[in-house]
Amino acid sequence: MTRTKRMAWVDIAKGVSIILVVMMYAVYNVGRHTGSVGFLHYLIAFATPFRMPEFFLISGLFLSTVIARPWQRYADRRFVHYIYFYVLWAFIMIALKVGIFAREPVAMAADLASAIIQPYGVLWFVYMLAVFAIAAKLLWQFRVPHWLVIAVAAGLQIAPVNVSSYIVTQFAAYFVFFYMGYAFAPQIFRMASWVAENQMKAIAALAVWFVVNGFLVFLPSFELLPDETRMGFAAFPPLHLLLGVAGAVALCAFSVVLVDRPYTGWLRWIGSHSLVIYLAFTIPMSIFREIAMTTGLITQTGPLSLAVFLVALITPVILYLAIGLTGFGHFLFERPAWARLKSE
pLDDT tens figures, 118-146: 999 999 999 999 999 999 999 999 999 99
pLDDT at 103: 87
Q: Each residue of 158-202: pLDDT tens digit?
A: 998 889 899 999 999 999 999 999 999 999 999 999 999 999 999
Is residue 98 predicted with pLDDT exceeding 80?
yes
**Half-sphere exposure of residue 335: CA atoms within 13 angstroms, side-chain side:** 18
Cβ contacts of 302 within 8 Å, gap of 6 or more? 38, 39, 40
Rounded to whole angstroms, the maximal C-alpha distance in the chain is 60
How far apart, in whole angstroms, are the C-alpha atoms of residue 335 and residue 344? Answer: 19
- Report the predicted TM-score, pTM, of the whole model to 2 decimal places: 0.94
Q: In terms of C-beta density within 10 A (0-12 exposed, 13-18 middle, 19 or more buried), how is residue 316 classed?
A: buried
What's the pLDDT at 102? 83
pLDDT at 237 over 80: yes
* Average of per-residue pLDDT across 28-53: 96
For residue 2, pLDDT over 70 is answered with: no
Q: What percent of the chain has pLDDT over 90?
A: 91
Q: CA-CA distance, 183 to 6, in Å (whole number)?
A: 17
Cα 163 to Cα 167: distance, rounded to the nearest angstrom = 9
Flag whether pLDDT at 229 surpasses 90: yes
For residue 11, what are the CA distances in angstroms to 59, 133, 333?
A: 11, 20, 18
At residue 6, the pLDDT reads 60
pLDDT tens readout for residues 216-228: 999 998 999 999 9
Does position 3 have pLDDT exceeding 60, yes or no? no
Category of 145 on φ-ψ map: left (φ > 0), alpha (ψ -120 to 50) or beta:
beta
CA-based end-to-end distance of the chain: 35
Per the prediction, the chain carries an average pLDDT of 94
CA–CA dist 235, 240 (Å, integer): 6
Name the burial class of residue 246, with classes exposed (0-12), middle (13-18) and buried (19+) by CB atoms within 10 angstroms of its CB. Answer: middle
Q: What would the pLDDT profile of 247-305 be if each residue is shown by its tens digit?
A: 999 999 999 999 988 889 999 999 999 999 999 999 999 999 999 999 998 989 999 99
pLDDT at residue 5, rounded to an integer: 55
- pLDDT tens digits, residue range 308-332? 999 999 999 999 999 999 999 999 9
What residues are paired with 223 via a beta bridge?
A: 230
Give me the long-range contacts of 221-227 (CB less than 8 A, separation at least 24): 222/45, 224/37, 224/41, 224/42, 224/45, 225/31, 225/37, 226/28, 226/31, 226/32, 226/34, 226/35, 226/36, 226/37, 226/41, 226/301, 227/28, 227/29, 227/31, 227/32
Per-residue pLDDT at 1:
55
Give the number of other CB atoms < 10 A from CB of residue 118. Answer: 14
Core vs surface per residue 264-303: b (16+ CB within 10 A) or e: beebbebbbbbbbbbbbbbbbbbbbbeebbeeeebeebbe
302/324 Cα distance (integer angstroms): 34
Mean pLDDT within 201-226: 96
For residues 245 and 180, give the distance between their C-alpha atoms in angstroms, rounded to a whole number: 9
Whether residue 257 contacts residue 203, with contact meaning beta carbons closer than 8 Å, is answered with yes
Write the DSSP assignment of 235-286 as a string of letters: GSHHHHHHHHHHHHHHHHHHHHHHHTSTT-HHHHHHHHTHHHHHHHSHHHHH
Angle, in degrees to the nearest 10, between helices 185-197 and 199-218: 120
